[in-house]
Structure 1
Amino acid sequence: MEPNQKKANGLALIPFAVFVGVYLATGITLNAMGVEMAFYQLPTPIASFIGIIVAFAMFKGKFDDKLSVFLHGCGEENIMIMCMVFLFAGAFTSVSSAMGGVDSVVNLGMTFIPPQFIAAGVFVISAFISISTGTSVGTVTAVTPIALGLAQAGGLNQFLVVGATIGGSMFGDNLSMISDTTIAATRTQDVEMKDKFRANFKIALPAALVTFVLLLIFGRPETLPAVQEYSYNIIKVLPYIFVLVASLLGVNVFAVLTGGILFSGAIGLATGSFSALELANNVYNGFSGMFEIFLLSMITGGLAKMVEKEGGLEWLLQKISKVIKNRQTAELGIAVMTSLTNIATANNTVAILIDSTIAKDISKEYGVDPKRTASLLDIFACAFQGILPYGAQILFACALMENLNSPFQVITQCWYQFILMAFAILSIFFAKGVDTKKATN
């Protein structure tokens, strides 16, 4: 091997294959047994831990040396920054929800949306809540019961309304500055959140506008539901607006989230939503709620470093390079790779973490802008996550519905996800300035 040639070893990918295989096999088996939320019964860090054990067992060298490589990957700066952002985002979501922010946002939207625009309205409400809170699952859980009630009262297709709810949730999750997918995509590709947001927005906004227009046309109820009064407090909406605006202005993410926590905490204390001690517990509960993704991110970083040292990622890059010829096919390869990984894991954040290193290498090799790479990782992970019959979003929504024969009754009405993928693919082939020449190494 030449001095500057990196080691390539396909067998080094086995630990990653074990990680994904254990997770996927467990989900399929439990699903066949009729277990609810089958793909979420096995904690993903445990599946990753099994892959780590395989790596230690099969890679050559002293145990202490392998441990050193693993810990170096766990403690890599971007991994640690990403993990800390997860904690702060969890705390903000927990505190703002506890002080009544989510309820106020939902009720505010339902107060001002005309009854004849229910489907389009819940799409917009879900998008705002998700982009403000960074969680699509939480948004689906909060909005779906209200959306179903409005659909029933207005004689509207309940599957369409729920599909609009999930679509709006995925729109916000994909763009939110505090979403775990955004955090993972930006930190692993070394880009600023505001830059990734702008790259995403150019694709997601047109897709959302097309979806909104279609929902206006085809989502009108047969009869208008009775007018209801929804109580809300505009003050409780302000922390979400603060986080969104401050993030777009480029304020440091830690400063943004700390300000959001303090803002929500002050409102909660002033309105009597919780005491000072309860506020502290809400912050800690937010930290605790992010433990799984925190641990997964850290140990996956360690596993990736071991696989990289053994030449697994270089082998994969060489194989992909035989198919990828230019920047367009490089971007398409990143999109396909992320989509397949998300289908296998049913977790968009996990898919991004698994694919991030090889995506970064492909980007460097073929001159793909890192902002673009982060955007593609997030878009395709979120788009597929929102149409998986065994994904959390579809499962939560379907669990709230009656007279449901198949999750595909909802999936076929998730228009936004399909439109988003179409716009993203079009952007790969028709974006201005696409360089068809391989980047110079």
Structure 2
Amino acid sequence: MNHGNKWALLPFLIFILLFIGSGILTKDFTAMPLNMAVGIACIAAFIMNRRDGTEKKLEVFLKGAGNKDVMLMVLIFLLAGAFSSVAKQMGAVESTVNLGLTYLPQNFLLVGLFIIGCLISLSMGTSMGTVVALSPIGVGIADATEISVALTMATVVGGAMFGDNLSVISDTTIAAVRTQGTDMRDKFKVNFWIVLPAAVVTAIIIGILTAGNSHALKDTYDYSILSILPYIFVLVAAIIGVDVIKVLLGGIIVSFAIGLINGSLSVLSFVEAASKGIVGMEDIAIIAVLISGLVALIQHAGGIDFLLTFISKKIRSKKGAEFGIASLVSVTDISTANNTIAILMTGPLAKKIADQYEVDPRKSASLLDIFASVWQGFVPYSPQLLAAASVAGISTVSIMFYSFYPILMAVCAVGAILIGYPRLKKK
């Protein structure tokens, strides 16, 4: 048996040290661009592998970077960006937020805010977009009531992570599904039943902590059911099993048609919005390509074999394999504070572990996405907490004390591993 080469993992370590080191030195964990950190790690992988010539190393890198699954993932990223941007320009985000605010329960402000966050992030596919949209509203609720602003910000972040973990157009979901070789609908169903209890218990806890506070918002907000239809179309189409490419193309067309009807879009503004969305996803698409090439180089040099051998010594069962997958993505997300990158980096290894121990790909994809989201909604240097804290003018640590949903999501996922839930029939 090939035990691999532990030194081949050094490029991974270089990547993490560049990101964490620059964050510690500058006190800004966004100081080191991820694409540069990955690019430097790729260069290191080229230099360290002295066994092969430049031509061979390029062949390995390009084959890994350009395989059909990676290119399909990149295409989905770009289409998701175009859809999100066009839908937002058309007014879908504003209408979704205002619809939720209009029907906020009078005596349960934060429960309503949490539910709105879940729905918006599920529709938009972005936790950061949800945090940016709802954080000012959370601050307004805190200012008008006796509710802690840290609690309102934690509520916003919790709702944002719910949808980021489940949305069919989220980059994390796309990455998890593609790396594990399963489809969006099946992953959604498995993932949903694991995290639903966490969302319900979170809503109950928030309700108990804030019961009795008076309404701090206006009675009604302007919204249009028509403007929300693209999100409904995408969600329903994905759940019933329509191919994700067709889902996203359909969502873009529906958004454009509604934009023409309500006057929010012209042909030129539609093209501009779609282009803006694609450009917004270019960075993560490039990073995905670079990471896939980096993983191919590391695997060629024996790094993946070493990890598999090392982890296999610790794993004795299917449950052990599931805990191994959860641990891998957790450590990587804590190190990078980027759940998509964590999934892209650990996905190929998680797939090998899942295949070896017969873990259903629907379960392995769900575990990757869940545990990446857990830490993304909890660590004090994650972009989501930093954004919420910046709007509220508080520290990220104060938000952590009220981060009920990420903690409960982890508890539910651990429980799902221990009891073998949900029971999955072989396809």
- 2:392 aligns to what SS in structure 1? coil
Name the CA distance, whole Å, in 1 between partners of 2:218 and 2:38: 51
> What does 1:403-414 correspond to in 2, within 5 Å?
404=394, 406-414=395-403
Structure 2 residues without counterparts, runs of 5 or longer = none
Residue of structure 1 aligned with 2:143, choices 140, 152, 156: 152
* 1:12 equivalent in alignment to 2:47: no
**Which of the numbers 22, 26, 32 marks the counterpart of 1:26?**
22
Q: Counterpart of 1:287?
A: 278
**Per-residue deviation, residues 270-290 of structure 1 (Å, max 9, x unmatched):** 222132111101101110000
Q: Is contact 1:346-1:390 (8 Å) kept?
A: yes
Look up the match of 1:235. 226
C-alpha separation between the residues in 1 aligned to 2:203 and 2:261? 37
Task: Name the CA shift for 1:304/1:411 in 2 (closer, same or farther; >3 Å).
Answer: same
1:373 — aligned with what? 364
Partner of 1:35: none
2:297 maps to 306
Question: Which of 112, 117, 139 matches 2:108?
Answer: 117
TM-aligned CA deviation for residue 65 of structure 1: 0.9
Query: 1:189-220 deviations in whole A, cap 9, x for unaligned?
Result: 10001111111111111111111122222222
Separation of aligned partners in 2, 1:210 and 1:138: 24
Measured on the aligned residues, the alpha-carbon RMSD in Å equals 1.5
Give the direction of change, closer, same or farther, for the CA distance of 1:419–1:7 in structure 2 (3 Å limit): closer
Select the residue among 405, 408, 416 that pairs with 1:416: 405
In 2: Cα distance, 1:189 partner to 1:44 partner: 23
- Please list every run of 5 or more consecutive structure 1 residues that lacks an aligned counterpart in the other structure: 32-37, 436-441
- In 2: Cα distance, 1:410 partner to 1:160 partner: 7
Q: Does 1:57 find its partner at 2:54? A: no
Note the alpha carbon deviations across 1:121-159, whole angstroms, 9 max, x for none.
011101111011110000000011112212322332222
Query: What TM-score, normalized by structure 2, do the two folds share?
Result: 0.96
Is the contact between residue 141 and residue 217 of structure 2 (CA under 8 Å) also seen in structure 1? no
Percent identity between the two aligned chains: 43
Correspondence for 2:206 among 190, 210, 215: 215
C-alpha distance in 1 between matches for 2:185 and 2:26: 40
Amino acid at match of 2:5: N
Cα deviation for residue 222 of structure 1 reads 3.4
- State the one-letter code of the partner of 1:25: G
Could you tell me whether the CA contact under 8 Å between 1:113 and 1:121 is conserved in 2?
yes
Q: Distance in 1 between matches of 2:227 and 2:343?
A: 33
| Distance verdict in 2 for CA 1:304–1:205, change over 3 Å | same
Which residue among 355, 370, 385 is the counterpart of 2:346?
A: 355
Q: Once the two structures are superposed, what CA deviation does each residue of 1:29-67 show, in whole Å capped at 9, x if it has no partner?
A: 111xxxxxx222322111111011111111121111110
Query: What is the alpha-carbon distance in structure 2 between the residues aligned to residue 227 and residue 396 of structure 1?
Result: 25
- State the AA in 2 paired with 1:390: Y
| Number of matched pairs | 423
State the secondary structure of the residue aligned to 2:211. coil
**What TM-score comes out, normalization by structure 1 length?**
0.93
For 2:15, the aligned partner's letter is: F
CA distance in 1, matches of 2:217, 2:61: 60
- Pairing of 1:256-295 with structure 2 (within 5 A): 256-295=247-286
Structure-2 residue corresponding to 1:77: 68
Task: Tell me if the contact between 1:12 and 1:311 (Cα under 8 Å) persists in the aligned partners.
Answer: yes
Contact 1:43–1:292, Cα closer than 8 Å, also in 2:
no
